Amino acid sequence: MRHFIFLCSLVFSVFFAIATADSSIQNLANANIKHHTLIIYSGHDTMPSHVKVKEGVLARLESTPANEQVELYEEYLDGIRLNITEDFDTAFIALWNKKYADLKLDMVVAVGPAADNFLNRHPELFSHALRYDINTSGLNLSDEKLKNNLVKVVDVVLQVLPKTEHLIVVMEKKITNGRLAEHIKAIEPSLSKKIPLEIWNDFSFDELYSRAQQLPEQSAIVYFPVGVDRLGNRQIPFNVIKKLALVSSAPIFVHDDTYLNLGVVGGYLRSLKQEGDMIGRIMLGLDASKTDDEYNSLVRGYFFDDNALKRWHISDKNLPPNSTIINRKESRFYTYRWYIAAVALALLIESILIIVLIRSLRHSKHMELALAEERNLLEVRVAERTYQLTEQTSELEESRILFQDAAYVAKLGVFNYDLITNELSWDDSMFAIYGIDPATCVSVYQSWRKIALSEDVRKIKSALQQAINENTAFDVRFRIYRNAGEIATIHALGQIYRDARGKPLRVVGINQDITDREKAEAIIHNLVYCDPLTQLPNRRLLAERLQQGISSRRRENKQLAVMMMDLDGFKVVNDNLGHAAGDELLQQVAQRISARLRDYDTVARLGGDEFVVLLEDIHNPDDAARVANVLIETLALPFTLSQHDNVQIGTSIGISFFPQHGEDGDELINKADNALYKAKNNGRGCFAYYSEEL
C-alpha cells in the first residue's frame, strides 16, 4: 500500500512539473536539474566594477538554499593575461568552443560593454543559451530611461547644491558618438533652463586636472568613465576619478557606486553589487519576467559619501529622501548607549530604594520630627523667596519702563507673527512707528499690508521663507507709506520658533524706523565718495572701482582702459567769466561725459578740470579709441551758460590699458597722464595711447 501511494505521488509530481514548466529562465528553479551559467567579464578580474558584480552574484547564490542548482563558470576578455595580441575575437572563440564543447550552457551573462559587444558580434557563440547583459558603464538602458536618468543626475546636483551655476559633464571623446551624447543633446534645451551645461570631452589628462582645479565657485562636475585622453594616453578610469576628486575645486557626482570612497559626493547611482544580486536571482529563476529597464530601476538609488558631504559643506536637509550615506560615524550617544542605559537603570534602582526608605521612615517619630523641621525651614525659604520675587518684580517693572522709554527714543517696536493663523500682533511702540491708531485698528496684518510697498512685500515674504528653510534669523529692510505719502524705511529682525518636530510656528522680533539713519548715511557716503560740485565719484571712489575692475579683469583674463582727460580752454573761461561760470561749465561737462558712457563704466573728477574715465569689459584698444573720439566730439560742441553767451572748449585724452601698462590703479593713472601730455603736444583735441617711449 505504501509503495502504491509513493508511486502515485511520484507520478503526480512529474505531471505537475511538466505542466508548469516554461522554456524561459524560470526553468532554473527546477531542483532536480543542475544548470550551467557562464559569466563573461569585459576585463581583468581586479576591475572594481567586476568585483562588485561578482560579490552580488555570489552573495545571492550563497544565501539561497537552491544555490546547488547552479554551476557557475567565469571568463575574462583579458587578452594580455592569455598572451593574445592579434586576432582577438578568433582566439577567444576558438578557446571557448573547445573549452565548453562538451557542456551545454543554460545561461550566458555579459558584464560590461566589451563582453556585450563581443557576444553581439558573434551570435553563433553559445546560441542555445539564454542571454543577459550588464553594461557596467550604466548606459545599457532604453532611450527614454537613459534620458530620465540623465535628468535625475542633473536634478540631484541642483537639489544637493541649489546654488550651483555651472555644470560640467566629463566623458571620453569616443563616447560622444554614442547614445549618451545624443540624449544629452536631446535634453539639453530643458536642462539649460535649469543650469548652463558644458561638456568636456577633448582634453589630455593633465589638462583635465588643471581645468578642474581652476573651476569657479558654484560649479559641479558629473563624471562618466574616462580611460583614454585626446593624446591617446590610457589610464584606469578608477585612477582618473581618484586624482580628479583630489585636485578639483568643485564637487563631483558620478553614475555608479564603483567610485564611492574616492572623494566624490555620489548622486543618483547604479549599484553594481545589486546588479550582481539580480543576476543571481535570474540564475535561480526568480523575477525572470522583469525587463531590462525594470531591473535598472531596481538597482538605482541615491548614494552619498559623508566625507565628501562634509568637505563641500552639504547639509543632509538637501539630500533626497531615502538617501544612503556611507562612511558616517556613529554618534557618541549611539556608541555609548549601553553605558547610558546602565547608568539610567542604576539611577532608577537608586530612586526606588530612596522611595522605599522614605516610606519606611515615615512611620517613625524621628521622621515626623524631621519632617516638621523641614516644613519650618521650607516656610522660611518660601518667605525669603517671596521677598526676593517681590524685589525682582519691582526691578522688572522699572526695567520695562526704561525699555519702553529706550524703545521710543530708538524707534523700536516688538511684533509677534503667527505662521499658522497669519495673525500679527504689535506692542504700543509698533503702532507709533507705523502711525496707526490701535483703537481703530481691526486687523494689524491688513493695516500693515495696506501701507507696505507692494514690491517690498514680495521681498519680505522671500526673506521669511529663506529664514524658515535655512533655519536662520529673519532679517530684512522694507519701505512703508506714512503721514500722507511720506516713505519711511523699516528694519525688521526676528527669530523663528518651531515645535518639537521642527515645524515653524511663529516669528517674534523687532522693527526699527531707520529712515533718518539712512538719510544720514547717504549724506555721509556722498561727502566721502563724491565730488561736491559735479556729484561724480571722487578720487577715493575711483580708486576702489579701479581696484575692483582690475581684480575682475584679472580673473576673467580680460582688459580695461583708463582715460585721463583735461579740458582745453577751460582756464580762459574760468579767468574771464569767473569761477561761477567755470563751476557751471564743469557741471555741464560732467553731464555730457556721463551721458556718453555705459552704465557700468565710471567717470570721476580728480580736481580742477581733470577727469578720469574707467572703461571695463573692452576687447581691444579700438574700443577705447571709439569712446575717446565720441567724448572729443561731444565736448567740442558749444556750451550754453546761464549768465553768459555760448562758450567753446575742447579736450585732450591720454589712454593706458590693463594689464599691458600696469597692475595697479595708481600706475595706470600715471601712465594715462603721461599719454595726456603726448596728446597735448600733438595739437590738443585728440587722444594718445601710452607707450614705453614716454
State yes or no: pLDDT of 383 exceeds 80.
no
* Confidence category of residue 662, pLDDT binned at 50, 70, 90: very high
Cell numbers of 18, please?
511538466
- Range 646-673 burial, b when 16+ CB lie within 10 A, else e: ebebbbbbbbbbbeebbeebeebbbbbb
Residues, the chain, total? 694
Q: Give 93-135 pLDDT, tens digit per residue.
A: 888 888 888 888 888 988 877 788 888 888 888 888 888 777 6
- Report yes or no: 302 and 324 within 8 Å, Cβ to Cβ: yes
Q: Give 305-364 pLDDT, tens digit per residue.
A: 999 999 999 999 999 998 989 888 876 776 677 888 888 888 999 899 999 888 777 777
Gap between the Cα atoms of 43 and 632, Å rounded: 72
Burial of 325 (0-12, 13-18, 19+ CB in 10 A): middle
Residue 17: predicted pLDDT: 32
Residue that wins the pLDDT comparison between 498 and 328 = 498
Residue 71: enclosing H or E segment and its boundaries? strand 70-76
Q: Give 416-457 pLDDT, tens digit per residue.
A: 999 999 899 999 888 888 888 888 888 989 889 888 888 999
Angle, in degrees to the nearest 10, between helices 621-636 and 579-595: 140
Residue 394: predicted pLDDT: 64
Beta strands in 114-176 (DSSP E): 130-134, 166-170
Are both 143-326 and 412-520 of the same fold?
A: no
Q: Give 49-92 pLDDT, tens digit per residue.
A: 778 888 888 888 887 665 557 788 888 887 666 777 667 788 88
pTM: 0.43
Average pLDDT value for residue range 392-413: 63
For residue 570, give the amino acid letter: F
% residues pLDDT > 90 (the chain): 41
Cell numbers of 19, please?
505542466
State yes or no: pLDDT of 6 exceeds 50.
no
Residue 10: predicted pLDDT: 33
Gap between the Cα atoms of 139 and 274, Å rounded: 16
Residue 11: predicted pLDDT: 32
Q: Give 263-285 pLDDT, tens digit per residue.
A: 999 998 888 888 888 888 877 77
Cell numbers of 532, please?
561736491
CATH of domain 531-689: 3.30.70.270
- Report yes or no: 564 and 676 within 8 Å, Cβ to Cβ: yes
Which residues are CB-contacts of 491 (< 8 A; sequence separation ≥ 6)?
476, 477, 511, 512, 514
Domain range summary for the chain, segments of one domain joined by +: 17-134, 143-326, 412-520, 531-689
- Report yes or no: 437 and 431 within 8 Å, Cβ to Cβ: yes
Classify residue 104 by its DSSP letter: -
- Report yes or no: 282 and 238 within 8 Å, Cβ to Cβ: no
Highest mean pLDDT among 91-95, 404-408, 609-613: 609-613
Residue 675: predicted pLDDT: 95
DSSP 464-478: HHHHHHHT--EEEEE
Residue 107: enclosing H or E segment and its boundaries? strand 107-111
Q: How many CB atoms lie within 10 A of CB 543?
A: 16
Pairing state between β 412-418 and 324-326: unpaired
Closest to 226 measured CA to CA, from 217, 211, 29: 211
CATH domain 143-326 topology:
Rossmann fold (3.40.50)
Gap between the Cα atoms of 487 and 108, Å rounded: 79
- Give the CA distances from residue 59 to residues 89, 287, 498, in Å, rounded to whole numbers and listed in that order: 32, 17, 46
Residue 631: predicted pLDDT: 97
For residue 498, give the amino acid letter: R
* Confidence category of residue 550, pLDDT binned at 50, 70, 90: very high
Q: Does domain 17-134 have CATH number 3.30.460.10?
A: no
- Report yes or no: 604 and 595 within 8 Å, Cβ to Cβ: no
Highest mean pLDDT among 58-62, 225-229, 429-433, 584-588: 584-588
Highest mean pLDDT among 139-148, 341-350, 373-382: 341-350
- Report yes or no: 137 and 238 within 8 Å, Cβ to Cβ: no
CATH domain 412-520 topology:
Beta-Lactamase (3.30.450)
Gap between the Cα atoms of 477 and 512, Å rounded: 10
State yes or no: pLDDT of 617 exceeds 80.
yes
Average pLDDT value for residue range 489-495: 92
Beta-bridge partner residues of 511: 413, 492
Residue 531: predicted pLDDT: 92
State yes or no: pLDDT of 289 exceeds 70.
no
Chain centre distance of CA 660: 37
Closest to 284 measured CA to CA, from 25, 634, 460: 25
- Report yes or no: 45 and 82 within 8 Å, Cβ to Cβ: no
- Give the CA distances from residue 76 to residues 91, 111, 130, 193, 260, in Å, rounded to whole numbers and listed in that order: 13, 9, 19, 44, 24
Residue 22: predicted pLDDT: 39
* Confidence category of residue 13, pLDDT binned at 50, 70, 90: very low
Residue 659: predicted pLDDT: 93
Which residues are CB-contacts of 686 (< 8 A; sequence separation ≥ 6)?
632, 652, 653, 679
